[in-house]
Structure formats: structure tokens, C-alpha cells
Amino acid sequence: MLNYEISGKGKENLVLLHGFMENLMIWEDMEMHLSDDFTLIKIDLPGHGLSKIYGEVHTMEFMAEEVKKVKDKLKLKDFHLLGHSMGGYTALAFAEKFPEKLKTLTLFFSSYLADDAEKKALRKKSFRIIKEAYPNYVNAGIPNLFNENEKDVLEGKIELAKEIALSTPTDGVLAAVKGMIDRTDKTSCMENFEGKILVIAGKHDNAVKTDEMLKNLPDSTNIKSYLLDCGHNGHWEKPEICASILNTELLHNLPKNFVF
């Protein structure tokens, strides 16, 4: 069973899935701005945080199945599911396999598009440095996930992100990288999902091809997108704005396609 924490006693259940080299601690800044109407279920994905490593490859589908075990244990019925980056890939796999369980799906600085050949090649090249020089991999990569224009202001959050990444076991990191390489395009899932879909993206996100992802969003009335002036980590860079969107969108409504 995956490690998880529950906070709040609201009537709406919101399940939060962190990203690559993260754990459930990442939500602390945003959590203080989220509505009391939410009960938050924060989960450590396989090989991250306090959740164990299950094998050499953790596919997004496997991660989704493990998330479902938490859902079943907690007897959640209809709930909101949000995933950051790799957590978004897992959330899409969950929505594809178990759509009837979800009220809403939020891609939080993530993408429904599969890795292109260039991204897959970069991931494969990372295997060696993760095995042999993981601290170098973390120290070089983490700062690039934040808005280049605000790195001085975000220095404390960058260091926190590094600390969390360095606490992640390398075997868990490698299993996740291999799983992300294998993931498939989920455009059809976006098209077929009957609940509300939110896409929250960053103008300065170096991990996601934001322009391409937003441009190719299916033309559906149940999909809303938001473009923020930040990098890949809105939960640390713009926690109050991100929480405001979630409070309004998941509990109420906003007109389609906002830019903050």
C-alpha cells in the first residue's frame, strides 16, 4: 500500500499526486490556501517518499493501480484527482482505467502528450548519471524547473526541491524514468473523459512543451486551461494563485481559458 496522508474534513475529496523526484510534502505551501471544503489525500507514488519500490520499472498504469488501492481502502466514491508532472501522467492513466471514479481531472504542469524521440533519448541518457552521480543530476536539473526570471526570489524553494529529490532513492527514480519513457499519448483519454478537466500550465516551464500541449487540447466544453507566469512548479512558485483556481474551478466555475 502506498504511503498517504489526509488533512482537512471538507465534503469534497481531492487526491494529490506529486511529480518526479518529489513526495507528498510538496503541497504544504498550496495547502494553506485551499478551501476548507476539501479533504486532501496526499499520496507518495511508488519509489518516492515513504512508498516502497516495486520493481525496475514503474509504469504510469501500475502507479494508477496503486493509487486505486488507496482509493479503495479509504472507500472514496466520486473524487477530484490532481497530478503534478509525473503525477499528471499517473492521473491520466487512472482516468483512462477508472473514469467512473472521478469527478474532475487536473493536469498540474503536466501533459497528455507522450514523450517525443528527443525527450526519450534524454531520459535514457540520464540512467548513467542517476546511478553514478545522482547529487549532480539533482543539482543540475532542479533549478531549471523554476522560472529563470525569479530564481533569486525562489532560492529557498529550489533548495527545498533539491532536498526532497535527494531523499528519493535512486532505484525509485530510475523505475519512474523508465515508466515515463513507456507512457503513451493520452489525447483520446482527454477527449473521452466525461468529467471536468483542468489544465494548469506555466509560461516558463522547461519540462513541458506548454505551447504545443495547449494548442492541441481537444476542443471540448469540459476542458479549461490556465496559463500562469511561472515555471514547472506552480505549487511553490504561485501557490496562492493555483489554490484560488482549484477552489473556484472544482467547487464553482470560471469562464473557459484564463491567463494569470
Strands (E), 170-251: 196-202, 223-228
Pairing outcome for strands 4-7 and 38-43 = antiparallel
H or E element, residue 52? none
For residues 8-35, average pLDDT: 98
Q: For residue range 148-206, what is the model confidence (pLDDT) as tens digits?
A: 999 999 999 999 999 999 999 999 999 999 999 999 999 999 999 999 999 999 999 99
For residues 24-43, average pLDDT: 98
* pLDDT of residue 260 exceeding 50: no
For residues 23-43, average pLDDT: 98
**pTM score, two decimals?**
0.96
| Structural domains of the chain in order of their starting residue, each with its CATH number | 4-259 (3.40.50.1820)
pLDDT for the residue 43: 99
Q: For residue range 34-73, what is the model confidence (pLDDT) as tens digits?
A: 999 999 999 999 999 999 999 999 999 999 999 999 999 9
pLDDT for the residue 252: 79
Pairing outcome for strands 79-84 and 4-7 = unpaired
* pLDDT of residue 97 exceeding 60: yes
Distance CA 88, CA 83 (A): 4
Distance CA 53, CA 105 (A): 26
Pairing outcome for strands 79-84 and 196-202 = unpaired
pLDDT for the residue 253: 56
